[in-house]
Amino acid sequence: MVFVTIDDGWTKDPTVLPFLAAHDIKVTAFLIGKVAVRTSPYWDALLSQGGLVEDHTVTHPFLAHRTLAEQKAEICPPLEDDQRLFGRRPTLFRPPYGSLDRTTVSAARDCGVSAVVLWDAVVQKGKLRRALRGPLQRGDIILLHWGPGLAGDLRALVGSLAASGLHSALLEDYLGPSPSLISTRGEPPAPASRAR
Ligand SMILES: [Zn+2]
């Protein structure tokens, strides 16, 4: 299994949801808080086909080197907002740009997030790049973005999945109820704090 995560949310391509459904890909959407609160039937449709919304800060800043209070002010509010908007409190947090430090991990824990999630591979401009090179591996967390290129990126991803013999699954189904704080190893290079 590999895990498909799609970040941000500014672009909502109407072709993407049917494509995900046709290929039985359930995605974890790390939505920016400011995007999520502009409620859209698009996200309801994503949820109805088995996706989940998780925390990606309120305003998408670089978090590293900010104070605990500043980081909590970015990480905590989407947990309440998403609960209200989508009927489920996020359990996962992804720091924008993969920018984090020890304070980020503390802030996420204080807010009640169970895991800080980075990624192992990125699909961008129709190409899959794995942080540690080579083909997709079982357990990889794959990052895409809700941008104008998403439909093409998903086609590339489906091609990579077929070539590797791997299937996608929903990340939350595999992390368990209380996963350790940082769940992956991929890009970006050397964040200051990385458990596991
Ligand atoms: Zn982002």
Percent of the chain with pLDDT over 90: 83
DSSP track, 126-173:
TEEEETT-SS--TT-EEEEESSTTHHHHHHHHHHHHHHHT--EE-HHH
CATH of 2-175 among 3.30.750.24, 3.40.50.11540, 3.40.50.450, 3.20.20.370: 3.20.20.370
Q: Give the pLDDT score at 183.
A: 47
pLDDT exceeds 70 at position 193: no
Q: Residue 39: which pLDDT band, with cuts at 50, 70 and 90?
A: confident
The tokens describing 65, both together, are: 């080197």
pLDDT exceeds 60 at position 186: no
Q: Which residues surround ligand 1, an ion (CB under 5 A)?
A: 7-8, 96
Domain map (residue ranges) of the chain: 2-175
CA–centroid distance, 96 to ligand 1, in Å, is 4
102-144 pLDDT tens trace: 999 999 999 999 999 999 999 999 999 998 888 899 999 999 9
pLDDT exceeds 50 at position 15: yes
